[in-house]
């Protein structure tokens, strides 16, 4: 398995115990990434009795394998948001993510966070047209930005769109600090605690060791909610995978960059314990579909050497994140029939700021506080048309994998989630499922859900 720069340079681990006895709580959170920890923090600060359960170690999933950008600039998105949701909702999205950046700056210390400008750049006429359209959207909803041409990158750029005073973080150290603040506020965190059974009507959970958790409200902070069948969220999410490499930096950057042309690239630097690191990411594809994944790392490594004139990669890792059909994550009650069960997912690779946004939305809903972004992020908002298209795409892939996978890939184990054939990911040494994004370690143990049971490798 590959390990990210962030996992290698995290703070020494705090010791959170495994749950070993029956407990009860007001709010139970499943999932120990940044979204789960932020939910725990916001609720504990309000005096709520909150318990967080993580099946492995906190922050070791999507958070610890991210790019570490804490920004409200999520690619070329605001022009589309205005078109899909209207000016007011696009402004709510901006304001909510801006508040997330400011929250991060309010508590992070040392190498947990660095100030940075966020920059979109184009290398073609089409890309430049996109930037001009995005700039008009910025102006319409009040985002201060500069449209220019020059950049720090050794690339020929046609145009740039810059938002100043953003942030980039060390996601592990940032999250570890927030977890400590959560516990200080009264939250209880348990690691290596895997949920085996959920009785939502009786509001009971059971672990693999048959330990019982009673709750009044439940927050699912997993990629694919374990009970997603409730509102068919499993048919409304697609999972994308992207690749990241890092090496020693000799060109510290003031900005963090993302291209608007194809192929997409994300660039930033980080300073950790006095050492500079250069991070390059891209090569996105649908999770579990590509057979030869090593080529993605080779492509990025080649760009490090020949485009940026840097040493070969020192760390390499990959990340995946679900996307909703309409760009906005899901945060809120999973269905009208079970208003006490909340989901928090679909970050579309922008999970750092949106984790904080979604956590704030759900915690505000639980404590009865108004949040302007609640309706925009509501899981039941998805219109029939976009849902149908996404459902057909996902269902078609699932059916293809069921019918074709068992015949063509008999050497691959069956995913324990819904019976699809997995594919071996040679670059990361994992078994990846193309249907709903489950990942398994080389020994068959679950790395990322929605699967909860290990593969049968016998």
pLDDT tens for each residue of the chain, 458 residues long: 688 999 999 999 998 999 999 999 999 999 999 999 999 999 999 999 999 999 999 999 889 999 999 999 999 999 999 999 999 999 999 999 999 999 999 999 999 999 999 999 999 999 999 999 999 999 999 999 999 998 999 999 999 999 999 999 999 999 999 999 999 999 999 999 988 888 888 999 999 899 999 999 999 898 644 444 344 444 455 667 789 999 999 878 999 999 999 999 999 999 999 999 999 998 776 755 556 678 999 999 999 999 999 999 999 998 877 777 788 998 998 877 788 989 888 887 777 999 999 999 999 999 999 999 999 999 887 643 334 334 434 444 343 333 333 333 446 787 776 667 777 776 677 777 766 667 778 777 887 666 767 877 76
Other beta carbons within 10 Å of 76: 18
- Over the Cα atoms of the chain, what is R_g? 21
Within its chain, how far is the Cα of 16 from the centroid?
23
- Pick from 290, 322, 323, 325: which is nearest to 437 by CA? 322
Rounded distance, CA 224 to CA 362, Å?
Answer: 17
Give the model's pLDDT for residue 173.
98
pTM for the predicted model, two decimal places: 0.83
Give the model's pLDDT for residue 421.
74
Does an H or E element contain 94, and which?
helix 87-107
Rounded distance, CA 420 to CA 433, Å?
Answer: 7
Give the model's pLDDT for residue 371.
97
Residues 6+ apart with CB under 8 A from 300: 243, 244, 245, 280, 281, 282, 283, 313, 316
DSSP letters, 239-288, are EEEEEEEEEE-SS--SEEEEESSSSPEEEEEEEETTEEEEEEEEEEEETT
DSSP letters, 177-222, are HHHHHHHHHT-EEE-S--EEEEETTTTEEEETT--EEEEEEEEE-S
Give the model's pLDDT for residue 405.
35
Q: Tell me the CA distances in angstroms from 253 to 209, 243, 299, 447, one per residue in order.
A: 49, 21, 22, 33
Q: Tell me the CA distances in angstroms from 62 to 36, 68, 80, 282, one per residue in order.
A: 12, 11, 25, 15
Question: Token pair for residue 299?
Answer: 């492509």
Give the model's pLDDT for residue 349.
74
Q: Tell me the CA distances in angstroms from 314 to 51, 168, 237, 277, 304, one per residue in order.
A: 37, 20, 33, 10, 11
Give the model's pLDDT for residue 209.
93
Rounded distance, CA 440 to CA 453, Å?
Answer: 10
Rounded distance, CA 19 to CA 82, Å?
Answer: 46
Residues 6+ apart with CB under 8 A from 410: none
The distance between the two most distant Cα atoms of the chain, rounded to a whole number of Å, is 62
Other beta carbons within 10 Å of 24: 14
Rounded distance, CA 295 to CA 300, Å?
Answer: 9
Q: Which residue has the tokens 């942030």?
A: 167
- Pick from 312, 412, 428, 10: which is nearest to 420 by CA? 412
Give the model's pLDDT for residue 53.
96
Rounded distance, CA 393 to CA 116, Å?
Answer: 38
Give the model's pLDDT for residue 238.
67
Rounded distance, CA 404 to CA 252, Å?
Answer: 48
Residue ranges of alpha helices (H) inside 292-432 are: 294-306, 351-367, 374-377, 384-408
Give the model's pLDDT for residue 318.
87
279 φ/ψ angles, rounded to the nearest 5 degrees = -120, 130
Question: Token pair for residue 50?
Answer: 């909150």
Q: In this structure, are residues 196 and 446 in contact, taking their beta carbons and an 8 Å threshold?
A: no
Rounded distance, CA 334 to CA 289, Å?
Answer: 28
- Please tell me whether residue 48 adopts helix, strand or coil conformation: coil
Q: In this structure, are residues 238 and 346 in contact, taking their beta carbons and an 8 Å threshold?
A: no
Instruction: Supply the angle between the helices 351-367 and 34-45 in degrees, to the nearest 10.
Output: 30
């Amino acid at each position: 398995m590959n390990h990210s720069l962030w996992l290698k340079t995290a703070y020494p681990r705090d010791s959170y115990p495994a749950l070993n006895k029956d407990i009860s709580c007001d709010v139970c959170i499943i999932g120990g990434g940044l979204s789960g920890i932020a939910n725990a923090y916001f609720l504990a600060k309000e005096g709520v009795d909150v318990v967080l359960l993580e099946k492995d170690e906190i922050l070791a999933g999507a958070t610890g394998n991210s790019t570490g950008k804490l920004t409200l600039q999520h690619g070329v998105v605001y022009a589309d948001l205005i078109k899909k949701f209207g000016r007011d909702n696009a402004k709510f999205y901006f304001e909510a993510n801006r508040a997330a950046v400011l929250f991060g700056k309010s508590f992070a210390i040392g190498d947990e966070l660095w100030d940075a400008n966020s920059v979109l750049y184009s290398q073609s006429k089409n890309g430049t047209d996109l930037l001009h359209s995005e700039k008009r959207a910025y102006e319409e909803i009040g985002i201060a930005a500069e449209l220019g041409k020059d950049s720090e990158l050794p690339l020929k750029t046609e145009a740039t769109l810059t938002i100043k005073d953003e942030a980039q973080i060390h996601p592990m150290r940032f999250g570890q600090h927030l977890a400590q603040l959560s516990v200080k506020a009264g939250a209880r965190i348990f690691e290596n605690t895997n949920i085996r059974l959920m009785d939502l009507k009786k509001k009971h959970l059971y672990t693999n060791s048959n330990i019982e958790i009673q709750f009044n409200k439940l927050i699912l902070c997993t990629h694919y909610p374990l009970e997603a069948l409730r509102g068919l969220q499993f048919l409304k999410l697609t999972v994308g995978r992207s690749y990241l490499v890092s090496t020693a930096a000799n060109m510290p950057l003031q900005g963090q960059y993302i291209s608007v042309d194809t192929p997409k690239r994300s660039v930033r630097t980080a300073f950790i314990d006095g050492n500079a690191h250069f991070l390059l990411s891209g090569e996105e594809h649908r999770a579990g579909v590509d057979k030869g994944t090593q080529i993605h790392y080779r492509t990025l490594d080649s760009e490090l050497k020949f485009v940026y004139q840097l040493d070969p990669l020192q760390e390499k890792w990959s990340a995946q994140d679900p996307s909703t059909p309409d760009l906005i994550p899901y945060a809120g009650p999973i269905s009208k029939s079970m208003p006490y069960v909340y989901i928090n997912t679909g970050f579309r690779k922008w999970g750092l700021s949106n984790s904080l946004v979604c956590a704030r939305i759900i915690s505000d809903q639980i404590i009865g506080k108004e949040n302007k972004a609640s309706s925009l992020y509501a899981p039941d908002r998805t219109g029939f048309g976009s849902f149908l298209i996404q459902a057909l795409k996902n269902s078609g892939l699932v059916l293809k994998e069921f019918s074709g996978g068992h015949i063509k890939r008999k050497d691959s184990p069956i995913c324990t989630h819904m019976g699809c054939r997995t594919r071996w990911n040679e670059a990361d040494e994992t078994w990846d499922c193309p249907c709903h994004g489950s990942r398994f370690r080389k020994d068959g143990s679950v790395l990322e859900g929605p699967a909860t049971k290990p593969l049968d490798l016998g």
